[in-house]
Amino acid sequence: MNNHFFSDWERVIVGISDDDLACFCTVSKEDGLTDNTFTPFIVYVFVGETYRGKRVSQQLLSYAETYLKELEFQSIYIVSGEIGLYEKYGYQKIKDCVTIHEFTENLFEKKLDVSLD
Q: What is the DSSP letter of 30?
A: -
3-state SS assignment for residue 98: strand
Spatial CB neighbours of 5, under 8 Å, sequence gap ≥ 6:
none
3-state SS assignment for residue 56: helix
The model's pLDDT over 3-42, given as tens digits with 9 standing for 90+, comes to 557 788 999 999 998 889 999 999 999 999 988 899 999 9
The model's pLDDT over 87-115, given as tens digits with 9 standing for 90+, comes to 999 999 999 999 999 999 999 999 998 76
> pTM, whole model, 2 decimals?
0.88
Spatial CA neighbour of 11 closest among 29, 31, 28: 28
The superfamily in CATH containing domain 11-111 is Gcn5-related N-acetyltransferase (GNAT) (3.40.630.30)
Model confidence band, residue 62 (pLDDT cutoffs 50, 70, 90):
very high
How far is the first Cα of the chain from the last one, in angstroms, to the nearest whole number?
Answer: 35
24 and 46 Cβ atoms separated by less than 8 Å: yes
